[in-house]
Amino acid sequence: VPDRVAKVLVDVALDREFDYHVPAHLAERVAPGVQVAVPFGRRETRGFVVGLAERSERSELKPIRAVVGKGPVISEKLLELARWMSVYYAAPVEQALRAVLPGVVRHRQGRFKERLFVTLRGAEAPAAGPAADAVAPGPCDRPAPDPTPALRLLDPLRLRAPRQADVLERVIATGGAYVHQLARAGPGAEAAVRALEKKGVVTVRKETETRDPLARHTILKTEPLPLMPQQQDALRLIAQAIDTRHPSVVLLHGVTGSGKTEVYLQAMDHVLRQGKGAIVLVPEIALTPQTLERFQGRFAGQVAVLHSGLSEGERHDEWHRLLDGRARIAVGARSAVFAPVCPLGLIVVDEEQEHTYKQDEAPRYNARDMAVMRGRLEDCAVVLGSATPALESFWNARTGKYALAAMPHRVDHRRMPAVRVVDMRVEAERTGRVSVFSRELLDAIRARLDRAEQVMLFLNRRGYATSLLCPKCGHVATCDQCCLPYTYHRQNPRLSCHLCGGLRPVPDRCPGCQDPAFKFAGVGTQRAEEAIAKLFPKAAVRRMDADTTATKDAHWHILREFRTGKIDILVGTQMIAKGLDFPNVTLIGVLHADLGMHMPDFRAGERTFQLLTQVAGRAGRGEIPGEVFVQTFTPFHPAVQAARRLDYEGFFEQEVEFRRQLQYPPFSHLVCLELRSRVEARAQFVAAALSERLRKELAPQAAVAAAAPAPLPKVKGWYRFQIMIRTRAMQAVAARLKVALQAARLPADVPYSVDVDALAIL
């Protein structure tokens, strides 16, 4: 056997591979994807073998010390995907690898922890070892010990040893818990457990932890439903894609309630029958027990769940269940796109337009796009599902890059709600001021409350009151070059376009109607809540936004109260817009549709349309038809008009024309480069110099804009500047950008970030 060389990517950030010698006794076990321990400098570090070679350019290679774990933890395809990601998103390779492989898998490979498990004395231990294939039994299936002695101890303990009382209460309530889980609730848990053990109330034993996050729910098995014709057509198209040798991407465009999930389930069944597995991505906010149950209920023990709410241990176990093939279906948020399902037959991305699929730290990948790329690398089918697909995705379907399946009808044949547009300029004219609620909306609220129906009021105010809007005529100060609202900077007042970097003085009267009251008059959710409570003193009004849901379960608590009818009017931000299903909500008011529209972001129109469509989907889910009022200063805006008619394609046609004229995505790719400094002048100087430099280095493939202050120019004491880059050849430009940024050697006190295919450019 000739001496071999392994290319190893070490865990420390150096963005390059190192050659190591493979000693003869390890030759059989060293393969791509295997984790190894290698000498590095004077230390030893971990790394991944990313390739093998016969010889190396360098002499005197150091040997690999050891192979960690049983075999590869990452397939060659996933390694390839990580490499592609690092190039495309201009991020270091090991950073990409870190995104692909959860930390807990990288660091504790092959270790299934023995954990200390506490039960009340006399209780049986839970079944150890890998989760059984059947629907997992809940803790209540175990014979429960008599809790009376423990309960009797609780009260005296509470005075003398409150920690012990807390622990004991948890153990009684859950029927048993791992010590490390108890420890998460506060310090001193371990000592408390030991003390309780000494008292003879609890028993502690070592167990191989089976951390099945779904084990605590009892889930009913469901059978496939007979499909409606539109679902049959969609499934047929997807099955075709699965069965070809080089599968394509299918865009499933189906209105809310059209039965998309049932189609996903049956498509997954199709790949399982071929001995392959599937990945389902859902937005983080949709990862509720109800969503998971739909998959778990159909496929029982085959489902592994991956999301940020899992403990490290759970994540480790779920990952390994997939790697060993004990589970064949991964359901999760963003990062589940890298789940080790093998062989992989299908990736489903539900609500594919969601911005939460974009990772907000480096590498800033979009899980939807990574799904498409992974599908291409692994020859597996990809289904993108949505009621309001991203413009880019629908464009790809239009141009034949994706196949399109349309499901325009609701399964239950319920009518879509009527959407009414209220012109707030008329209201301002009539009352002489800018009001929060129009007379039409107030009348409608009164009528609904009289009939004991529920109302949702929606105000998307996230604090970016940064554009200038005339309340009389609806005029918005806009950059001629980019058709984007100017950002209004309050300190030394000026307008700036953050896409092209153009600056303008603030006009003292409206260019449209010459009114001097030309400024933003904003209202937040809190003021709206107060105002509506005063107008309807007998109604129970609650607010749901980032402020009222800061504590862990507040979100669910408010929704439960709303569901059970304890709340009449719910006021909220986009938090209440998505995925919620309340049959008794018959009226929805959008208080200020313009708010999102006039953000300095060319996707503002698209986002407004999606939001309005989603909000409208919340009304009339039950027997009574719903009604939606959209209050706006720009009633003829295409996004508002299309939302009124619930006309996706109409919106698409207009919007795509706008994008084409200005060469916005999908006609180009947009990179947002951001630089920060504690000192404004320094950030500005470095950004300006970098912009100059990049303009030369990336020409002629990319257009590099002048550096400009970000729409939120100062965040937590950091001054932010942006450089926008547009190109049609993203892959080539990304590679050059990465090199150029390294060569530029930016000062350490001016950190920067690169966002390729940026979605949020605030």
**Residues near Zn ion (CB under 5 A):** 479, 481-482, 497, 499-500, 502
Comparing CB distances to ligand ADP, the nearer of 411 and 580 is: 411
* Structure-block tokens of residue 249: 């991407």
Comparing CB distances to ligand ADP, the nearer of 388 and 574 is: 388
DSSP conformation letters of 469-513? B-TTT--B-EETTTTEEPEEETTTTEEE-TTT--EEPPPSS-TTT
Comparing CB distances to ligand ADP, the nearer of 231 and 614 is: 231
Kindly state the smallest distance separating residue 287's Cβ from ligand ADP, in Å.
15
Binding-residue total with ligand ADP (CB under 6 A) = 14
Residue 384 region, left (φ>0) first, then alpha (ψ -120 to 50), else beta?
A: beta
Q: Which of 66, 225, 426, 554 binds ligand ADP (CB under 6 A)?
A: 225
* Structure-block tokens of residue 475: 């005029």
Kindly state the smallest distance separating residue 229's Cβ from ligand ADP, in Å.
10
Selection from ligand ADP, Zn ion, none that 406 binds (CB < 5 to 8 A by kind) is none
Comparing CB distances to ligand ADP, the nearer of 115 and 414 is: 414
Please, which residues have CB within 8 angstroms of residue 41's CB and are 6 or more apart in sequence? none
Selection from ligand ADP, Zn ion, none that 227 binds (CB < 5 to 8 A by kind) is ligand ADP
Selection from ligand ADP, Zn ion, none that 258 binds (CB < 5 to 8 A by kind) is ligand ADP
**Residue 404 identity:** L
Q: Which stretch binds ligand ADP (CB under 6 A): 180-188, 193-201, 225-233, 454-462?
A: 225-233
Selection from ligand ADP, Zn ion, none that 225 binds (CB < 5 to 8 A by kind) is ligand ADP
Comparing CB distances to ligand ADP, the nearer of 297 and 650 is: 297
Can you point out the beta strands (E) in 717-760? 718-727, 752-756
Q: Which stretch binds ligand ADP (CB under 6 A): 202-210, 222-230, 438-446, 632-640?
A: 222-230
Distance CA 66, CA 38 (A): 7
Comparing CB distances to ligand ADP, the nearer of 29 and 414 is: 414
Comparing CB distances to ligand ADP, the nearer of 265 and 523 is: 265
Distance CA 528, CA 652 (A): 32
Alpha helices in 699-753 (DSSP H): 730-744
Kindly state the smallest distance separating residue 496's Cβ from Zn ion, in Å.
9
CB 698 within 8 A of CB 740: yes
Distance CA 264, CA 225 (A): 12
Pick out residues in 43-102 that bind ligand ADP (CB under 6 A). none
Please, which residues have CB within 8 angstroms of residue 284's CB and are 6 or more apart in sequence? 307, 308, 333, 334, 356
Kindly state the smallest distance separating residue 222's Cβ from ligand ADP, in Å.
9
Selection from ligand ADP, Zn ion, none that 497 binds (CB < 5 to 8 A by kind) is Zn ion
SS3 406: strand
DSSP conformation letters of 357-397? GB-SSSS--BHHHHHHHHHHHHT-EEEEEESS--HHHHHHH
Selection from Zn ion, ligand ADP, none that 340 binds (CB < 5 to 8 A by kind) is none
Tokens 């949020």 sit on residue: 760
Measuring CA to CA, which residue among 582, 646, 620 is closest to residue 388?
646
Selection from Zn ion, ligand ADP, none that 332 binds (CB < 5 to 8 A by kind) is none
CB 163 within 8 A of CB 171: no
Torsion of CA 160, 162, 168, 171, to 10 degrees: 180
Distance CA 219, CA 317 (A): 20
Comparing CB distances to ligand ADP, the nearer of 256 and 353 is: 256
Selection from Zn ion, ligand ADP, none that 482 binds (CB < 5 to 8 A by kind) is Zn ion
Comparing CB distances to ligand ADP, the nearer of 352 and 601 is: 352
Comparing CB distances to ligand ADP, the nearer of 68 and 646 is: 646
Distance CA 358, CA 366 (A): 4
Comparing CB distances to Zn ion, the nearer of 500 and 624 is: 500
Kindly state the smallest distance separating residue 478's Cβ from Zn ion, in Å.
9
CB 80 within 8 A of CB 60: no
The residues with which 358 forms a beta bridge, in sequence order, are: 366
- 42 Cα distance to chain centroid: 40
Binding pattern to ligand ADP, positions 384-423, x when CB under 6 A?
---------------------------x------------
Kindly state the smallest distance separating residue 269's Cβ from ligand ADP, in Å.
14
Binding pattern to ligand ADP, positions 248-277, x when CB under 6 A?
------x-xxxxxxx---------------
Kindly state the smallest distance separating residue 547's Cβ from ligand ADP, in Å.
30
CA distances from 174 to 140, 211, 293 (A): 9, 15, 21
Kindly state the smallest distance separating residue 589's Cβ from Zn ion, in Å.
34
Distance CA 271, CA 757 (A): 31
Pick out residues in 227-246 that bind ligand ADP (CB under 6 A). 227-228, 231
Query: Which stretches of the chain bind ligand ADP, using CB under 6 A?
Result: 225-228, 231, 254, 256-262, 411
